[in-house]
Structure 1
Amino acid sequence: MKFNVLTRADLDGLVCAVILKNTEDIDKIRFSEPKFVQDKEIDVFPNDIITNLPYDPRCAMWFDHHIANVRPKEFKGAFKVAPSAARVVYDYYLPNFPQLKKYEQLMYHTDRIDAADLTYDEVLEPQGYLLLSMTIDGKYHDDEPYWLKLIDLLVEKPIQEIMNDPDVKAKVERFSKEDLEFRQLVRDHSRMEKNVLVTDLRNVEKLPNGNRYYVYAFQAATNLSMRITNDRERPGYVSIGVGYNIFNKTANINVGELMKKYGGGGHKTVGSTKVKAEDADKIVKEMLVYLTMR
């Protein structure tokens, strides 16, 4: 039976597709944001394998690791709390496909990147798989041919060859230029709310792609960060993301469960949601009351 993959456009989602291309007969690969699956705004078919996204009962198989996602009592696939969704897929197939061990280094780096298990120096000067991951921006669907190419490259080539690919080099060059602007915007649009660093970028008309981990290096004294942006895919909506500071993990909340209350989701240490623009200020205030008590 031929399957399609429905996954998220980040390194974790792409590596899920890499593993599935080695283990199943994959026809097409599609991409979605979690909220679209959660709200059933995207078609799901009986031959779809969903990875790194919420469950949909119409799918053939489901693989995920997000603690806030609703898990059915019975389904084909696997769910467990793991550093990455790709790790869930890898562990599921490894007993019957020992050749997957050739991806051990890819899995190691995917786990570290998705779990934000990074050093200060890696955040300030990303290289290799981490730098590659920063060229993948799921908000730009025009980049879909690039994501598909990366999957094929990751299936066959080591990271050194991938980083020398002309398309990848062009993306890295563009990212590096935009990241300088992004870092300045973070500094200009951030404020302290007790233990929370709030970065509100709603007034930025064109938000450049940038290193999402930089905020933690910029203000290591806080233990939580909140990022607020206009949703580029849904006009009239605002994206709110909250995460533990990866260099100061003293917070004691379940971010994914908090976001779930507002229609989103995530992990214990990081999560996000999308809300109507007119409700955003009220919801941000509510969240900050909760977050600053932790």
Structure 2
Amino acid sequence: MSDQKYRLVTRSDFDGLVCAILLNEIGLIDDIKFVHPKDMQDGKVAITGRDITTNLPYVPGAHLVFDHHASETVRNTGERPKNYIIYPGAPSAARVVYECYGGKSRFPDSFDDMMIAVDKSDAAEFSIEEILEPKGWVLLNYLMDSRTGLGRFREFRISNYQLMLDLINYVRNHTIDEVLALPDMVERVTLYFEHADKAKEQLQRCTTVHGNLA
């Protein structure tokens, strides 16, 4: 394998975090940038041949582009570029990266639970219990998701962006319980559950059920 290293450009969420962990494990990246998908579509993110992108709209010029969204196969018609690795049936972009680089034959067994969790999370295959009382990897997914809204709270010791960067190396050699026990995680877990009852009340107040839709 070449000694060339690249910058990972990905979403700031659990799938993006796991992509970073996988690519870091095989020594392919030395930098990371978290971006919004719309900014990629609008050309607001400068992409070069030193970039690997995951879980984002295809942008020409990247070294490699990993994705799993079937909608991208509709948006990008014609012959698929050689640098475009997309598995529309994969449950997560991290799974595409994992399988592309050898899967279980290349990555440690300690990554198995993480991979199951990122597939489950990106496909939103959660039980009611996991939504109301999240724990373990499911809880980490919620905490890392920008839609949870923790990024707007400024009293944390470090930013969510910095925490994502720190976790790339920490998750490699620690259990999910040890990850959630980190002081920077504990303060986010505490805040998350402080708002839980109000969030449940809001959902009950604002939601109407129509058959299997809410």
Match of 2:199 in 1: 182
Q: Deviations over 1:214-265 (max 9, x none)?
A: xxxxxxx433x5xxxxxxxxxxxxxxxxxxxxxxxxxxxxxxxxxxxxxxxx
Aligned residue for 2:54?
Answer: 51
Shift of residue 102, structure 1, vs aligned partner:
3.2
Say yes or no: does 1:170 pair with 2:187: yes
Q: 2:144 corresponds to which residue?
A: 136
Partner of 1:122: 130
Q: Residue deviations 1:133-190, cap 9 Å, x none? A: 1111336384200111222222221112111111111111111112332222323333
Give me the whole-angstrom Cα distance separating, in 2, the residues matched to 1:191 and 1:108: 32
Q: How does 1:40-79 map onto structure 2 within 5 Å?
A: 40-69=43-72, 70-71=75-76, 73-79=80-86
Q: Matched residues in 2 for 1:58 and 1:183: separation?
A: 45
More relative contact order, 1 or 2 (CA 8 Å, 6+ apart): 2
- From 110, 116, 127, the counterpart of 1:102: 110
What amino acid is the match of 2:30? Answer: D
Query: Which of the residues 196, 219, 222 maps onto 2:212?
Result: 222
CA distance in 2, matches of 1:179, 1:41: 35
Counterpart CA distance in 2 for 1:85 and 1:95 is 13
Q: Quote the offset at 1:59 in angstroms.
A: 0.9
1:50 aligned partner, one-letter code: T
Is the 8 Å Cα contact of residues 62 and 75 (structure 1) preserved in structure 2?
no
> In 2 relative to 1, CA 100–38 (structure 1 residues): closer, same or farther, beyond 3 Å?
farther
User: Secondary structure of 2:69's partner?
Assistant: coil
Distance 1:25 1:188 in 2: 48
Equivalenced residue count is 197
Is the 8 Å Cα contact of residues 7 and 51 (structure 1) preserved in structure 2? yes
Corresponding residue SS for 1:27: strand
Asked if the contact 2:62/2:83 (under 8 Å) is kept, the reply is: no
Distance in 2, Cα, partners of 1:164 & 1:95:
28
Q: Deviations over 1:95-116 (max 9, x none)?
A: 6962344311110111111112
Find out whether 1:15 has 2:18 as its counterpart.
yes
CA distance in structure 1 between the aligned counterparts of 2:85 and 2:104, rounded to whole angstroms: 15
Q: Which has the higher helix share?
A: 2
State the alpha-carbon separation in 2 of the partners of residues 99 and 27 from structure 1: 19
CA spacing shift, 1:175–1:48, aligned 2, 3 Å: same
Aligned equivalents of 1:24, 1:68: Cα separation in 2? 30
- Give the aligned CA root-mean-square deviation in angstroms: 2.1
The aligned residue for residue 5 of structure 1 is 8
In the alignment, residue 158 of structure 1 is paired with which amino acid? T
In the aligned structure 1, how far is the partner of 2:134 from the partner of 2:51? 34
- Of the structure 1 ranges 93-102 and 177-186, higher mean CA displacement relative to structure 2 is found in 93-102
| Equivalent residue number for residue 33 of structure 2 | 30
User: TM-score w.r.t. structure 1 length?
Assistant: 0.62
Secondary structure, counterpart of 2:32 in structure 1:
strand
Aligned AA (2:130): E
The structure richer in strand per residue is 1
1:171–1:96 CA distance, 2 compared to 1 (3 A): closer
1:275 aligns with none
SS of the residue aligned with 1:45?
A: coil
Which whole-Å deviations, capped at 9, do the CAs of 1:189-214 have from their partners, x for residues lacking one? 3346xx4xxxxxxxxxxxxxxxxxxx
Q: Is the 8 A contact 1:8 1:138 kept in 2?
A: no
Distance in 2 (CA, whole Å) between partners of 1:147 and 1:185 is 29
* 2:155 matched residue in structure 1: none
2-side partners of 1:46 and 1:155: how far apart?
A: 27
Which ranges of structure 1 fall in alignment gaps of 5 or more residues? Answer: 196-220, 226-294
Residues 3 and 24 of structure 1 are in contact (CA less than 8 Å); yes or no, is this contact kept in structure 2? no
CA shift digits 1:61-93 (9 cap, x unpaired):
011111112346113252112111100000000
